């Protein structure tokens, strides 16, 4: 097979699911070494990234013909991880419901306000309900742009409670104001620019 061009919303897990591979097979392939070094996280791709998809290989299994045999397919190791905060404090031991296109999951956040749920690689959206449905949050899975892109900075700031208006990928006044507020809260130089120190701090929250 050859390299394909990633579109908005693509990730290594979603491309792997589409082409019938495990995500690790594509992410760790030698042809994707430069992409792996650039993006560092297989869940974060930018539109235009080139991803190599290898050819499938047949695997032979020798078994006797006079017996029954069971073959077990390995599961997908993809997990959705969310951390809920309120005024900087974890929303611990709180009931939640996660609605996926073909599944509903109920549970409680842990002591750090975290939710962790296994999901198929081709799932792109979920709905998170809190407080018996009084709070609802739409979650887009796999659509986080790299932090080196302006849109990636805007997405991370907005998710952390520093809204950037439309988040259209332009370094506008709203984005600079959001950067200043984020920098002040995290003891960074208040420049209103997405400098290396600010991007590094954003990566601590979102790779």
pLDDT at 73: 62
Output the six-digit token pair for 169.
């990928």
- 85 & 132 share domain: yes
Residue 7, pLDDT > 80, answer yes
Cβ partners under 8 Å of residue 190, min gap 6: 180, 183, 184
Residue 136, pLDDT > 90, answer yes
pTM (global) more than 0.75:
no
| Under 8 Å between Cβ of 192 and 177 | yes
- 196 & 154 share domain: yes
pLDDT at 205: 84
Mean pLDDT for the stretch of residues 67-83 = 73
pLDDT tens per residue, range 143-195: 888 999 999 999 999 988 899 877 788 899 999 999 999 999 999 999 999 99
pLDDT tens per residue, range 84-125: 888 778 999 999 999 998 889 999 999 999 999 888 777 888
| Under 8 Å between Cβ of 188 and 180 | no
Q: Which of 123, 202, 34, 132 is nearest to 193 (CA)?
A: 202
Higher pLDDT, 149 or 67: 149
CATH number at 44 reads 3.10.350
CA atoms within 13 A on the CB side of 152: 24
Mean pLDDT for the stretch of residues 57-83 = 75
Q: Which residue has the tokens 């920098």?
A: 183
Q: In this structure, is residue 175 part of a structural domain?
A: yes
Say which DSSP state 133 is in.
G
The CA distance from 43 to 123, in Å, is 12
- 42 & 24 share domain: yes
> How many domains, in total, are found in the chain?
3
Average pLDDT, the chain: 88
Q: Which domain holds residue 31?
A: 3-52
Q: In this structure, is residue 58 part of a structural domain?
A: no
């Amino acid at each position: 097979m050859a390299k394909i061009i990633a579109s908005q919303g693509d990730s290594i897990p979603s491309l792997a699911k589409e082409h019938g591979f495990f995500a690790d097979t594509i992410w760790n392939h030698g042809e994707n070494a430069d992409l792996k070094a650039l993006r560092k996280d297989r869940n974060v791709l930018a539109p235009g990234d080139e991803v190599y998809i290898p050819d499938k290989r047949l695997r032979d299994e020798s078994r006797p013909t006079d017996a029954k045999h069971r073959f077990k397919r390995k599961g997908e190791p993809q997990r959705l991880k969310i951390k809920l905060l309120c005024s900087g404090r974890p929303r611990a031991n709180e009931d939640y419901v996660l609605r996926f296109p073909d599944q509903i999951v109920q549970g409680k956040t842990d002591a750090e306000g975290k939710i962790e749920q296994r999901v198929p690689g081709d799932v792109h959206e979920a709905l998170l309900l809190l407080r018996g449905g009084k709070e609802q949050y739409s979650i887009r899975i796999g659509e986080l742009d790299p932090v080196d892109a302006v849109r990636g900075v805007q997405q991370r700031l907005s998710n952390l409670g520093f809204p950037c208006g439309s988040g259209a990928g332009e370094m506008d006044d709203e984005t600079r104001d959001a950067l200043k507020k984020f920098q002040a809260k995290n003891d960074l130089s208040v420049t209103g620019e997405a400098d290396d120190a600010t991007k590094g701090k954003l990566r601590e929250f979102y790779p």
